[in-house]
Chains A and B, each alone.
Chain A
């Protein structure tokens, strides 16, 4: 279906429809904005989700991610901007397609199964009456691995089973886009980890496109093809999980995804000089004398105990191990300098350094993200 088949052409919106030779987008938003009173919940969001893709919107609570999802679903009306689902304009200045006509499926934080219907009734709810209805329900039941439980009522299912029924119910009408609103939140940690793997696999088998909203970075990194990091209603960065971890575009993203050491330094001759070494300033080279911060992940920092050094180090580079946090395979060491600056360095749990040891630190990476100092929003 193209935008042309919708009753009213999206005249006031910039052209959003794809060209025939481009892959179609399952979701395309442009300048999407929503405010509640004085609070701008969603602020000019441009977001594309490709067909077959699993994209997560990751952000702290209050970042506007749930509002974004509800705008896409049609439960909230946008103040500005537009939304296209599968090439069809569903929201814009003069368009507001109701949720039931948007070809979306949704899975909520609470399972939101219909308590008065059994598993079959729930899954069949969005299907038209007809011959292949029963077949489709059976197909969905098999897909989510609930064979034998078709007659169960929602309260007779475990939390994980309920969410799988909710997923089957959303997938059954073959929607263009599945919206997942923190669907693993209500589950305990073990079940959550297991279920998110299963959900990823089910969606892959169903060849579905999904938009997940979550505040859990581990979850997003694990199951997403791409991640959009959101803060204060804006999307800060959209990229693959590894790109996001290795090259965050600003301090916020760096700190929100994974653990981050932001080490201050000064630019000299195209390099940033810090207490842990020198780093190339990169293509958009910073002017000499500018203060900057270097992002170093704990596992990129290597500790050398001072008493094993041949020469005595400069005193400002010496740190002391003040605390250790055991994470299983790794141990994180909190290091403090004489001026009170703290760093975190990771080692394998078999190579830890005792608390109180004086160390110097050097980084294994040469090319790392650098942010100008004093600019809170970053790059």
Chain B
């Protein structure tokens, strides 16, 4: 989550805030209220719980969950930095063999959704997994325990370290080599220059990447639940399943949101500061390549190990189980029902998210007054909410006040909307910023009212952006697991749910085909996102 951060305000293109039409404000406020509903309802639940809530927060079990979650996040983040920074440096500044290939392969793990990654790890290293099956002829009946902390930390690190690679690589490509050259000319050697000049300049980029990894580990549900590690997300789910005690679940959810909110806040601060660390306008002079000499081959081996575990392993594991399943007569046909459900729900969510993004973006860009800013911020609240929290809040709201909507497609779509509208708003907003307000004013002087200007001029101009937003939301909604598990109508199986439930029950072959499909979907969404960010 949070791969698109709330964009900063580009004041240059904004006009002075004029009073927006009432229908626009109405639509925007409605969207904002729905966006704020989950967090508001959880707060209400906790407050209603009163003393119980406070007691629940300080119960040993709760504090244990908090400790475990923070430990997991810290471990995954540290491991990702240790893996990601050297890889970023090797693939930008050295003559390591197959540098270009490595540059692509070290980002590729991002296309593996966490539950598919969790599935791959379990299906490879778990009991009755691929490794154990392969070793069985040699009398190996048990592998070291995978479930719990080691498995969760391994899975999360393998599929989130590329955030660090991307961030640090970007910084390495941007920094002016002049700093390093000055250091060398003042008599410092290559290694001292790296540690005293290069590395300090990378610090904000490392921090930004690390925070994204931390956010990913905190909010992840798929990998931790498949590997049975009781971090917040799994504890919330188990609590909800076991007792339907809303107070404790709400308290856990609020504690989790506090953690993710703090990390998002820190990330936005660091991102702002990271800008100043860019040097000059940069004449685009590439930095000199460091000759590794004899170290080239150990460097390659190390890089290959990471690629093998994070790219080759999941693909090979899925292929192994797919072949094994097909040869054992596992039917492939049932996947189509789940695929159809995934497509329907995601397509509807995409259309809704784009429709909703229009009034929010217009308010935020063209009428940047108090209301506009407030509506925009409220919509971005979805970024700080892990899927499990949004799902849980809507379960409670629906069960209590709207039983007729509980476990229906519309409720699932509303939850998707809260979760994915920020992505659509981000892209719509960027597209809108590129349309000069003068163009809309010209249409006004030619006799069109504001609504007609939006319909006849603005929306046709930003159509490519709207299409990209819809595609992105479609693909991300396809991958969504926790919200779907909690809110999907009974019998409404999606690909994500199918992979998760088959894996939790140890039917590795049954999960293989949907997992492969999901990696394809995920790759498409990543490609789209990277293309959008380049614009």
Binding site for B on A (CB under 8 A): 36, 73-76, 98-102, 104-106, 108-110, 112-116, 125-126, 166, 169-170, 173, 175, 179
Set B436, B449, B461: member contacting A110, Cβ < 8 A: B436
* A74, B463: Cα distance in complex, Å: 28
* A57, B365: Cα distance in complex, Å: 30
What is the 8 Å Cβ interface bit string for chain B, positions 443-464, against chain A (1 contact, 0 not)? 1111111000000110011010
A104 contact set on B, CB distance < 8 A: 445
B456 contact set on A, CB distance < 8 A: 125
Q: Contact: A98 with B449, CB < 8 Å? A: yes
Set A108, A110, A125: member contacting B446, Cβ < 8 A: A125
25 A-B residue pairings within 8 Å (CB atoms): A75-B18, A75-B444, A98-B449, A99-B441, A99-B444, A100-B444, A100-B445, A100-B446, A100-B447, A102-B445, A105-B446, A106-B441, A108-B438, A108-B441, A110-B436, A113-B439, A114-B442, A114-B457, A116-B457, A116-B461, A125-B443, A126-B446, A170-B442, A170-B446, A173-B446
A74 contact set on B, CB distance < 8 A: 444
A108 contact set on B, CB distance < 8 A: 438, 441-442
Quick check: is B531 within 8 A (CB to CB) of the other chain?
Answer: no
Quick check: is B534 within 8 A (CB to CB) of the other chain?
Answer: no
Set A73, A109, A114: member contacting B445, Cβ < 8 A: A73
Quick check: is B59 within 8 A (CB to CB) of the other chain?
Answer: no
Contacts A36-B16, A115-B461, A116-B460 given: A110-B445 contact, CB under 8 Å?
no
Q: Contact: B438 with A112, CB < 8 Å? A: yes
Shortest 8 CB-CB contacts between residues of A and residues of B: A126-B446, A112-B438, A99-B444, A106-B445, A108-B438, A116-B460, A112-B442, A112-B439
B436 contact set on A, CB distance < 8 A: 110, 112
Closest to A175 in B: B445
Closest to B449 in A: A100
* A179, B457: Cα distance in complex, Å: 21
Q: Contact: B439 with A173, CB < 8 Å? A: no
Binding site for A on B (CB under 8 A): 16, 18, 436, 438-439, 441-449, 456-457, 460-461, 463
Set A36, A73, A102, A114: member contacting B461, Cβ < 8 A: A114
What's the minimum C-beta distance from A299 to chain B, rounded to whole angstroms? Answer: 40
What's the minimum C-beta distance from A260 to chain B, rounded to whole angstroms? Answer: 35
* A59, B447: Cα distance in complex, Å: 30
* A136, B63: Cα distance in complex, Å: 76
What's the minimum C-beta distance from A327 to chain B, rounded to whole angstroms? Answer: 35
Contacts A36-B16, A110-B436, A112-B436 given: A73-B441 contact, CB under 8 Å?
yes
B447 contact set on A, CB distance < 8 A: 100-101, 126, 173
A73 contact set on B, CB distance < 8 A: 441, 445
A100 contact set on B, CB distance < 8 A: 444-449
* A76, B457: Cα distance in complex, Å: 21
A179 contact set on B, CB distance < 8 A: 445
* A113, B18: Cα distance in complex, Å: 22
B444 contact set on A, CB distance < 8 A: 74-75, 98-100
* A106, B446: Cα distance in complex, Å: 8
What's the minimum C-beta distance from A35 to chain B, rounded to whole angstroms? Answer: 12
Apart from A74-B444, A108-B442, A116-B461, what 17 extra A-B contacts exist at CB < 8 Å?
Answer: A73-B441, A75-B18, A75-B444, A100-B445, A100-B449, A106-B442, A108-B438, A110-B436, A112-B441, A114-B439, A116-B457, A116-B463, A126-B446, A126-B447, A170-B446, A173-B446, A173-B447
A75 contact set on B, CB distance < 8 A: 18, 441, 444
Closest to A70 in B: B441
Set A76, A114, A175: member contacting B443, Cβ < 8 A: A114
* A98, B461: Cα distance in complex, Å: 23
* A169, B457: Cα distance in complex, Å: 15
B438 contact set on A, CB distance < 8 A: 108-110, 112
* A115, B442: Cα distance in complex, Å: 12
B461 contact set on A, CB distance < 8 A: 114-116
A170 contact set on B, CB distance < 8 A: 442, 445-446
Contacts A112-B436, A114-B457, A115-B461 given: A169-B442 contact, CB under 8 Å?
yes
Question: Max chain A CB contacts within 10 Å: which of B18, B446, B460?
Answer: B446
* A100, B449: Cα distance in complex, Å: 6
What's the minimum C-beta distance from A33 to chain B, rounded to whole angstroms? Answer: 16
What's the minimum C-beta distance from A343 to chain B, rounded to whole angstroms? Answer: 43
What's the minimum C-beta distance from B255 to chain A, rounded to whole angstroms? Answer: 43
What's the minimum C-beta distance from A258 to chain B, rounded to whole angstroms? Answer: 32
* A73, B442: Cα distance in complex, Å: 10
Q: Contact: B16 with A99, CB < 8 Å? A: no
* A113, B436: Cα distance in complex, Å: 10
What's the minimum C-beta distance from B111 to chain A, rounded to whole angstroms? Answer: 34
Q: Contact: B446 with A169, CB < 8 Å? A: yes
A98 contact set on B, CB distance < 8 A: 444, 449
What's the minimum C-beta distance from A2 to chain B, rounded to whole angstroms? Answer: 21
* A126, B456: Cα distance in complex, Å: 12
What's the minimum C-beta distance from A240 to chain B, rounded to whole angstroms? Answer: 28
* A115, B445: Cα distance in complex, Å: 17
Closest to B463 in A: A116
* A98, B438: Cα distance in complex, Å: 16
What's the minimum C-beta distance from A234 to chain B, rounded to whole angstroms? Answer: 21
What's the minimum C-beta distance from A118 to chain B, rounded to whole angstroms? Answer: 13
* A101, B452: Cα distance in complex, Å: 14
A112 contact set on B, CB distance < 8 A: 436, 438-439, 441-442
A105 contact set on B, CB distance < 8 A: 445-446
Closest to A114 in B: B457
* A73, B438: Cα distance in complex, Å: 12
Question: Max chain A CB contacts within 10 Å: which of B442, B443, B447?
Answer: B442
B439 contact set on A, CB distance < 8 A: 112-115
Question: Max chain B CB contacts within 10 Å: which of A74, A99, A110?
Answer: A99
* A269, B444: Cα distance in complex, Å: 61
Closest to B15 in A: A75
* A104, B16: Cα distance in complex, Å: 22
What's the minimum C-beta distance from B259 to chain A, rounded to whole angstroms? Answer: 40
B442 contact set on A, CB distance < 8 A: 106, 108, 112-114, 166, 169-170
* A109, B457: Cα distance in complex, Å: 19
What's the minimum C-beta distance from B431 to chain A, rounded to whole angstroms? Answer: 12
A173 contact set on B, CB distance < 8 A: 446-447
What's the minimum C-beta distance from A125 to chain B, rounded to whole angstroms? Answer: 5
Closest to A106 in B: B445
Question: Max chain B CB contacts within 10 Å: which of A104, A109, A125?
Answer: A125
* A113, B440: Cα distance in complex, Å: 10
Closest to B446 in A: A126
* A179, B448: Cα distance in complex, Å: 17
A114 contact set on B, CB distance < 8 A: 439, 442-443, 457, 461
Closest to B439 in A: A112
* A116, B440: Cα distance in complex, Å: 13
* A54, B443: Cα distance in complex, Å: 23
* A166, B456: Cα distance in complex, Å: 17
Question: Max chain B CB contacts within 10 Å: which of A74, A75, A101, A106?
Answer: A75
* A75, B444: Cα distance in complex, Å: 9
* A179, B441: Cα distance in complex, Å: 12
* A56, B128: Cα distance in complex, Å: 86
* A108, B446: Cα distance in complex, Å: 13
